[in-house]
């Protein structure tokens, strides 16, 4: 295999052997292609190529695993076409279905299933879904709290409730316990982590604050903040020393600088020494009014000095408000409460685990912990995993372990995959691929520092057993997008902010090939800065519009300009430039809550076709809420809100006046009783009473039904009996609404597979789903090729690319609520928080909280920076950034001062204080030549600044926007619609009568070869078979386009159709290993494994588990296949034939048109130099009938195989499962 088009770095990553290899793959650098090529190289190159089942390939998602398998399979087939006789390649094609290419969860499950006895669990245990486990946790928590409240010895628990319960309820404490539980489970050894926390709070009278973990860590925080404050003073010096600087301020600023430096130099390395040094700081007195020229510059110096002093005072108020001894006393007082919190959490953990065992379920956390138990010996640590006997056996199974998205690994994954590698015997064999700059899953407790530890240690020279290869060429984006991204992140991304220094090795370099053209392509990166404040000339209509809607209007305006301007993009498929279409444009949002709806609604008004896949809100849709309310009152009709909601719904159509009358009939009673009273009152013999009687008849019917019927069946019956499904189908957006209602049935069926039963638990199940944000978005009816603008979250866009990207909402503030909680948790630093003196109703923040808050904030802000990097690197051709700022002029002055005193990188201290993306992007652009616009709008034209980046190669365009620009869009008549637009050029005054004959001739013209017009351009084998069969036995044709659609019967249980069952049978035959003979039990165990791997659901397993597959393996054909060393399954093909070759009748004899036929061959194998074709059928029909049905199909399969392989097909066999025999065609 030659290097071809691979870069040197890619080629090295593909071919480097012997050692642990870390591939730092920048955005768009082709990491997946490299990974696939390395696998192909391992299984095809060299003297002793590996079998693919000797590799373990771990991916982040099931979709990624599926794509990987598909790519590898395609590559093997491509090589087989070049060398069809190669037995090793033929074996790899067979082995690929059993290769370990899977998600980490799937791999963990496999290990647990192979070692149930060591894990100490029942083999029949199943995996519970997230909603089920959340509901179970809630029930366990309820039981635990009831026990604790009723316990005689509960003083410590009550103190815990008082401290962190959250007011009059204990919901706050419940949430904290769940958070502590989650952190425990993210650790390889939860009990060890809990004991370390207890040790942290084991404070005795002989230690000082400086001996505690927090006392040692706090000095680093104070030092970092002080360095940032000193930089502000340096910025003031830079202005004073400029030609227009206020020289008169120099002495005062010098004194301030000296005071800060004295503190910095005398801080020492303990909290006590920092405290003492702070007490001695004295700043110079307030400086007076500047009387010289350039007062605006003098004001900037004054602002920098005041900001520095204010920040230093804030630092003191945060860290030094109380003496060190008092800080230690607060920790001592907190200790009993924290210890009780850990105790209660451990009790909860034990109870929850016991409940899971009783119900015979596992959750995803269990997989990892069981694997730790199975694969690691006691005493193992993250740095020194000690492999168990089972791990040693797995080391022999895998010659190489390849891990994708390594930057998102956690400690459990790292320890398990280290244990089964051969590092402990000096044969390092891990291939690790990732990009820490795209690590955006810390909220799932990913640990990017695992990646960074190796990034810094591994050799870039390719020496030793630990090597690093950097892939920095980007094959996705135009040069300017890469230059602009580099320009920003060289200034922003540092070890402190982002976890990595954005140096030359981290930067992006152009690798994509865009042909030169005279068309309007590429262009500057655009930054649109929108003024939030309302100017005096803004109308009330515009002033009342929210920020999200304003940005949506500006975005719609820019999209329309791109479409109308003829902006061109390069189409990879056609290899030509074409005009940009809606499908080329994607809007990325950091926060989808509220913003997605705003953009969707504005785009609809502006006639821009768009689709946003909501990640939440499914249960808030009217149609789903209506059915959920109905279910709630079927379970318990004494709930007023859902009761009234159902009466008001389109199902029963009670109006406001009727509801008031009903309520007055019962006065203070619940609405159910009011309605009952209304019916029985003599004076109420009216329409409302009749409607109520009908309602109660329906309600009682469903309440009776719920006693013995599953939830999914009840929902189906509601749809049928009330007609609600048909009703929503006839409203606006009816298809999506009906899809949502179908999805509710699916969710009910998922629930029924859980350990909970009944309507009551289903309602709670759904409430738990909503509370924990694990719900799916609305059902989608949109295809990926639809010509629409996509609106999606930045997280959702990771791994994708789009010709035009608009990143909007960049002025929306980051979510920092987690660092304001009373109690904070950190995987490395443990627990910290406020001390609650509940007797005196006082709350004291303290050193434990300061340390954790600072680190959590730093990690969160670092992740936000990486999210921004992901957003900017999605664009291929055009990148547009958009954000809103309040008081642009004043804000830009602040951005300018943020850059003064900074070197190549902006102050990490300032950047960590950022509230949103604009607080990073605009200060960085201050130093670009386009940044002169920022100086102009701030009125700071005379200020000098660091011009090192002024002439950067990147091209930017900055636009300052005012709401008045979109006033006409907001105020335009809502009645304007697309039809007015389509016919606006029609001339009603023109006489078209002279064209009558021409129009008639054109309308009546028919194609001479009319028979050819009904031929398909391509057709599947099954369609040809069906058409031939139909034409022989009836007058119908599959080319008929008239279809009747029936209303779905929701009363039916979920059934596996004959067609679906046939597909399942084929899937089993595709996945199972034909080289073995099987017993019935072995086949059933194999089918169960398809459920575990997520290939089948439980209903599908039931449908085929007892199917007579064993007959095939005992048949003569099964034996012949086992004796062959070249067996191929599920082979797709495409073949060009004439109509006569396809249909074989004289009417097509003279036609020269081509028809592309396509199909999938179930199986073929070699016997000597000839081929045997096998097709398996599950039809319940006799042998003669099967021959009639499938003779055309087998004939075409044979023709295709002989043309593709050049070999003779000596036998065409249909294996009939139902008849238990081979049928030769």
Classify residue 307: in a domain, yes or no.
Answer: yes
387 and 343 share one domain = no
User: Cα separation of 665 and 694, whole Å?
Assistant: 18
Q: Are 44 and 89 within 8 A, CB to CB?
A: yes
492 and 459 share one domain = no
Classify residue 849: in a domain, yes or no.
Answer: no
Task: Show Cβ contacts of residue 12 under 8 Å, excluding neighbours closer than 6 positions.
Answer: 462, 469
521 and 566 share one domain = yes
Task: Look at residue 1165 in the predicted model and tell me its pLDDT.
Answer: 94
Average pLDDT over residues 742-747: 88
* Predicted confidence band of residue 549 (pLDDT cuts 50, 70, 90): very high
What is the helix (H) or strand (E) element at residue 33, kind and residue range? helix 31-44
Number of H helices, E strands in the chain: 50, 29
Classify residue 179: in a domain, yes or no.
Answer: yes
Task: Look at residue 47 in the predicted model and tell me its pLDDT.
Answer: 85
Q: Are 1200 and 1161 within 8 A, CB to CB?
A: yes
Task: Look at residue 772 in the predicted model and tell me its pLDDT.
Answer: 65
- Report for 286-290, 313-317, 1007-1011: range of highest mean pLDDT: 313-317
Classify residue 850: in a domain, yes or no.
Answer: no
Q: With DSSP H G I counted as helix, E B as strand and the rest as coil, what are the percentages for the chain, rounded to 5?
A: 55, 15, 35
Q: Where residue 890 sits, what CATH number does that domain have? A: 3.40.50.300
Classify residue 503: in a domain, yes or no.
Answer: yes
What is the helix (H) or strand (E) element at residue 310, kind and residue range? helix 295-319
pTM comes to: 0.77
Helix (H, G, I), strand (E, B) or coil at 406: helix
448 and 587 share one domain = no
> Which of 748, 772, 796 is a domain's end point?
772
882 and 950 share one domain = yes
Query: Phi and psi dihedrals of 127, rounded to 5?
Result: -90, 120
Classify residue 1071: in a domain, yes or no.
Answer: no
With a cut of 80, say whether residue 540 has pLDDT above it.
Answer: no
* Nearest one of 551, 439, 550, 558 to 879, comparing CA atoms: 558
8-state DSSP, 1025: H
Work out the mean pLDDT of the chain and round it to a whole number.
87
Return left, alpha or beta for 1124; rule: phi > 0 is left, psi -120 to 50 is alpha, else beta.
beta
Task: Look at residue 107 in the predicted model and tell me its pLDDT.
Answer: 95
* Predicted confidence band of residue 289 (pLDDT cuts 50, 70, 90): low
User: Cα separation of 29 and 1090, whole Å?
Assistant: 34
With a cut of 90, say whether residue 868 has pLDDT above it.
Answer: yes
Which two tokens mark 465? Answer: 């057993």
With a cut of 50, say whether residue 1033 has pLDDT above it.
Answer: no
User: Cα separation of 648 and 1091, whole Å?
Assistant: 43
Gyration radius of the chain's alpha carbons: 35
Mind listing the pLDDT tens digit for each residue in 611-663? Answer: 887 545 677 788 889 999 999 999 999 999 999 999 999 889 898 888 888 88
Task: Look at residue 377 in the predicted model and tell me its pLDDT.
Answer: 95
440 and 485 share one domain = no
Task: Look at residue 977 in the predicted model and tell me its pLDDT.
Answer: 41
Task: Look at residue 358 in the predicted model and tell me its pLDDT.
Answer: 92
Q: Are 441 and 407 within 8 A, CB to CB?
A: no
Q: Which residue has the higher pLDDT, 803 or 1041?
A: 803
DSSP per position, 809-874: -TTSPP--GGGGSSEEEETTTEEEE-EEETTTTEEE--HHHHHHHHHHHHHHHHHHHHHHHHHHTT
Which two tokens mark 371? Answer: 């694997």
- Report for 484-488, 685-689, 830-834, 1134-1138: range of highest mean pLDDT: 484-488
* Predicted confidence band of residue 800 (pLDDT cuts 50, 70, 90): very high
User: Cα separation of 30 and 472, whole Å?
Assistant: 10
8-state DSSP, 1050: T
Task: Show Cβ contacts of residue 902 under 8 Å, excluding neighbours closer than 6 positions.
Answer: 231, 235, 910, 946
Strands 1155-1167 and 1018-1020: parallel
603 and 623 share one domain = no
* Predicted confidence band of residue 670 (pLDDT cuts 50, 70, 90): confident
Q: Where residue 1210 sits, what CATH number does that domain have? A: 3.90.320.10
8-state DSSP, 1177: E
Mind listing the pLDDT tens digit for each residue in 501-516? Answer: 999 999 999 999 999 9
* Predicted confidence band of residue 203 (pLDDT cuts 50, 70, 90): confident
Backbone CA torsion sign across 843, 845, 849, 855: positive
With a cut of 70, say whether residue 1118 has pLDDT above it.
Answer: yes
Task: Look at residue 1041 in the predicted model and tell me its pLDDT.
Answer: 39
Task: Look at residue 982 in the predicted model and tell me its pLDDT.
Answer: 38
Mind listing the pLDDT tens digit for each residue in 1150-1201? Answer: 676 777 787 889 999 999 889 999 999 888 888 888 888 888 888 888 988 8
Query: Phi and psi dihedrals of 363, rounded to 5?
Result: -115, 175
427 and 526 share one domain = no
Distances from the Cα of 84 to the Cα of 91, 856, 1172, angstroms:
12, 57, 16
**How many alpha carbons fall within 13 Å on the CB side of residue 202?**
6
505 and 648 share one domain = no
> Which of 711, 742, 772 is a domain's end point?
772
Mind listing the pLDDT tens digit for each residue in 920-949? Answer: 999 999 999 999 999 999 988 777 777 788
576 and 499 share one domain = yes
For residue 569, the cross-strand partners are 578
Alpha helices in 670-733 (DSSP H): 671-680, 687-705, 711-722, 724-729
Classify residue 928: in a domain, yes or no.
Answer: yes
User: Cα separation of 218 and 274, whole Å?
Assistant: 9
Task: Look at residue 1022 in the predicted model and tell me its pLDDT.
Answer: 58
Task: Look at residue 271 in the predicted model and tell me its pLDDT.
Answer: 93
Domain count, the chain: 6
> Which of 416, 446, 471 is a domain's end point?
471
User: Cα separation of 372 and 416, whole Å?
Assistant: 6
Query: Phi and psi dihedrals of 790, rounded to 5?
Result: -95, 135
Task: Look at residue 1192 in the predicted model and tell me its pLDDT.
Answer: 86
Helix (H, G, I), strand (E, B) or coil at 676: helix
Classify residue 405: in a domain, yes or no.
Answer: yes
Task: Look at residue 535 in the predicted model and tell me its pLDDT.
Answer: 75
Q: Which residue has the higher pLDDT, 1118 or 731?
A: 1118
Q: Which residue's structure tokens are 């749809």? A: 719
Task: Look at residue 1204 in the predicted model and tell me its pLDDT.
Answer: 82
With a cut of 90, say whether residue 338 has pLDDT above it.
Answer: yes
Least reliable range by pLDDT among 29-43, 742-756, 797-811, 823-837: 742-756
With a cut of 50, say whether residue 1040 has pLDDT above it.
Answer: no
Task: Look at residue 234 in the predicted model and tell me its pLDDT.
Answer: 87
427 and 486 share one domain = no
Q: Where residue 697 sits, what CATH number does that domain have? A: 1.10.486.10
Task: Look at residue 755 in the predicted model and tell me its pLDDT.
Answer: 78
Mind listing the pLDDT tens digit for each residue in 982-1026? Answer: 333 444 455 555 566 666 666 665 555 545 544 555 565 655 655
Mind listing the pLDDT tens digit for each residue in 99-147? Answer: 999 999 999 999 999 999 998 888 888 888 888 888 899 999 999 999 9
The residue range of the domain holding 237 is: 209-321
* Predicted confidence band of residue 448 (pLDDT cuts 50, 70, 90): very high
Task: Look at residue 974 in the predicted model and tell me its pLDDT.
Answer: 42
339 and 308 share one domain = no
Q: Which residue has the higher pLDDT, 489 or 982?
A: 489
Task: Look at residue 985 in the predicted model and tell me its pLDDT.
Answer: 44
Mind listing the pLDDT tens digit for each residue in 28-46? Answer: 999 999 999 999 999 998 8
With a cut of 90, say whether residue 757 has pLDDT above it.
Answer: no
Task: Look at residue 608 in the predicted model and tell me its pLDDT.
Answer: 93
């Amino acid at each position: 295999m030659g290097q071809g088009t691979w870069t040197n770095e890619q080629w090295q990553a593909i071919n480097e052997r012997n050692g642990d290899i870390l591939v730092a793959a920048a955005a768009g650098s082709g990491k997946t292609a490299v990974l696939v090529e390395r696998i192909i190289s391992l299984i095809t190159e060299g003297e002793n190529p590996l079998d693919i089942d000797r590799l373990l390939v771990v991916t982040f998602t099931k979709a990624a695993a599926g794509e990987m398998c598909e790519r590898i399979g395609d590559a093997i087939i491509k090589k087989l076409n070049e060398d069809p006789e190669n037995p090793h390649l033929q074996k790899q094609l067979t082995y690929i279905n059993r290769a370990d290419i899977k998600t980490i969860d799937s791999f963990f499950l496999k290990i647990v299933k192979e070692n149930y006895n060591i894990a100490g669990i029942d083999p029949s245990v199943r995996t519970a879904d997230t909603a089920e486990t959340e509901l179970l946790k809630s029930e366990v928590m309820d039981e635990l709290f009831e026990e604790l409240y009723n316990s005689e010895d509960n003083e410590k628990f009550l103190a815990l409730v008082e401290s962190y319960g959250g007011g009059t309820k204990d919901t706050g404490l419940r949430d904290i316990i769940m958070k502590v539980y989650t952190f425990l489970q993210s650790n390889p050894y939860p009990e060890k982590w809990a004991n370390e926390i207890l040790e942290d709070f084991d404070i005795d009278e002989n230690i000082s604050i400086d001996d505690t973990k927090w006392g040692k860590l706090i000095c680093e925080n104070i030092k970092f903040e002080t360095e940032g404050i000193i930089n502000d003073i340096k910025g003031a010096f830079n202005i004073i020393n400029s030609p227009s600087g206020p020289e008169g301020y120099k002495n005062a600023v010098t004194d301030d600088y000296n005071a800060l430096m004295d503190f910095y130099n005398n801080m020492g390395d303990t909290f006590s020494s920092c405290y003492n040094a702070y007490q001695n700081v004295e700043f110079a007195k307030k400086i007076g009014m500047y009387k010289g020229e350039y007062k605006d510059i003098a004001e900037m110096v004054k602002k920098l000095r005041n900001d520095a002093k204010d920040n230093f005072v804030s630092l003191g108020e945060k860290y030094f408000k109380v003496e060190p001894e008092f800080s230690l006393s607060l920790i001592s007082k907190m200790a009993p409460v924290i210890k009780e919190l850990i105790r209660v959490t451990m009790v909860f953990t034990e109870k929850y685990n016991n409940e899971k065992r009783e119900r015979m379920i596992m959750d995803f956390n269990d997989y990892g912990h069981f694997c730790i138990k199975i694969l690691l010996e006691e005493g193992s640590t993250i740095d020194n995993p000690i492999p168990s006997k089972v791990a040693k056996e797995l080391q022999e199974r895998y010659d190489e372990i390849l891990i994708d998205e390594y930057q998102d690994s956690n400690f459990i994954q790292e320890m398990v995959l280290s244990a089964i590698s051969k590092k402990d015997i000096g044969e390092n064999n891990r291939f690790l691929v990732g990009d820490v700059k795209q690590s955006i899953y810390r909220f799932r407790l990913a640990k990017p520092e695992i990646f960074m530890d190796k990034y810094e240690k591994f050799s870039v020279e390719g020496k030793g057993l630990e090597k690093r290869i950097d892939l920095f060429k980007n094959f996705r984006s135009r040069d300017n997008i890469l230059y602009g991204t580099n320009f920003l992140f060289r200034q922003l991304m540092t070890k402190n902010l982002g976890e990595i220094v954005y140096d030359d090795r981290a930067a992006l370099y152009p690798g994509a090939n865009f042909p030169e053209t005279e068309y309007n392509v590429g262009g500057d990166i655009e930054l649109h800065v929108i003024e939030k404040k309302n100017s005096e000339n803004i109308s009330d209509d515009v002033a009342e519009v929210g920020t999200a809607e304003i940005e949506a209007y500006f975005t719609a305006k820019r999209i329309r300009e791109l479409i109308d301007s003829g902006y061109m993009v390069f189409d990879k498929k056609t290899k030509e430039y074409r005009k940009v279409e809606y499908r080329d444009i994607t809007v990325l949002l950091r926060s989808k809550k509220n913003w997605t709806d705003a953009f969707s609604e504005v785009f609809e008004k502006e006639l821009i076709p768009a689709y946003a896949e909501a990640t939440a809100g499914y249960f808030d849709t009217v149609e789903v809420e209506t059915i959920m309310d109905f279910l709630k009152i079927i379970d318990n009709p004494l709930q007023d809100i859902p009761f009234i909601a159902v009466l008001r719904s389109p199902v029963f159509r009670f109006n406001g006046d009727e509801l008031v009358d009903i309520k007055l009939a019962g006065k203070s009673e619940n609405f159910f009783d009011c309605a009952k009273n209304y019916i029985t009152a003599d004076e109420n013999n009216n329409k409302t009473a009749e409607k109520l009687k009908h309602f109660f008849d329906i309600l009682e019917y469903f309440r009776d039904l719920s006693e013995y019927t599953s939830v999914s069946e009840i929902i189906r019956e509601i749809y049928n009996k009330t007609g609600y499904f048909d009703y929503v189908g006839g409203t606006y957006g009816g298809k999506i609404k009906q899809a949502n209602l179908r999805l509710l049935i699916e969710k009910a069926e998922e629930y029924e597979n859980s350990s909970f039963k009944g309507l009551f638990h289903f309602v709670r199940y759904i409430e738990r789903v909503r509370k924990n944000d694990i719900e799916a978005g609305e059902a989608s009816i949109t295809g990926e090729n639809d010509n629409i603008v996509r609106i999606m979250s930045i997280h959702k866009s990771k791994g994708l690319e789009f010709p035009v990207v608009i990143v909007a909402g960049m002025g929306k503030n980051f979510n920092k609520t987690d660092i304001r909680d009373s109690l904070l948790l950190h995987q490395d630093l443990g627990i910290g928080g406020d001390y609650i003196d509940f007797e005196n109703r006082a709350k004291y923040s303290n050193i434990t909280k300061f340390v954790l808050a600072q680190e959590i904030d730093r990690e969160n802000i670092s992740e936000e920076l990486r999210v921004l990097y992901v957003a900017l690197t999605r664009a291929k051709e055009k990148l547009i950034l958009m954000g809103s700022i309040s008081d642009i002029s004043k804000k830009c002055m602040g951005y300018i001062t943020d850059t003064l005193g900074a070197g190549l990188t902006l102050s990490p201290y300032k950047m960590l204080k950022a509230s949103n993306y604009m607080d990073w992007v605009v200060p960085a652009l201050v130093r670009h030549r386009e940044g002169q616009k920022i100086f102009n709008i701030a009125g700071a034209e005379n200020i000098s600044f660091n011009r090192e980046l002024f002439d950067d190669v990147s091209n930017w365009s900055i636009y300052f926007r005012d709401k008045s620009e979109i006033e006409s869009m907001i105020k335009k008549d809502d009645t304007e619609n697309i039809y007015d637009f389509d016919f606006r050029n029609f001339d009603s005054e023109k006489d078209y009568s002279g064209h009558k004959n021409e129009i008639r001739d054109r309308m009546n013209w028919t194609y001479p070869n009319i028979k050819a017009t009904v031929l398909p351009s391509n057709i599947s084998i099954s369609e040809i078979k069906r058409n031939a069969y139909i034409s022989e036995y009836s007058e119908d044709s599959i080319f008929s386009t008239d279809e009747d659609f029936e209303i779905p019967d929701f009363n039916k249980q979920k059934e596996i159709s004959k067609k679906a069952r046939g597909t399942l049978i084929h899937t089993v035959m595709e996945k199972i290993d034909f080289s073995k003979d099987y017993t019935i039990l072995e086949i059933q165990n194999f089918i169960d494994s398809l459920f575990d791997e997520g290939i089948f659901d439980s209903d599908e397993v039931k449908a085929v588990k007892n199917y007579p597959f064993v007959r095939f393996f005992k048949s003569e054909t099964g034996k012949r296949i086992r004796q062959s060393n070249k067996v191929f399954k599920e082979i797709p093909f495409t073949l060009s034939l004439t109509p006569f070759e396809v249909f074989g009748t004289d009417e097509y004899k003279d036609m020269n048109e081509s028809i592309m036929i396509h199909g999938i061959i179930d199986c073929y194998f070699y016997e000597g130099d000839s081929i045997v074709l096998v097709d398996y059928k599950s039809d319940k029909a006799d042998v003669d009938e099967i021959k009639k049905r499938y003779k055309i199909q087998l004939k075409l399969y044979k023709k295709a195989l002989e043309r593709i392989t050049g070999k003779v097909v000596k036998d065409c066999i249909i294996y009939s499962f139902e008849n238990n025999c081979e049928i030769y065609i």
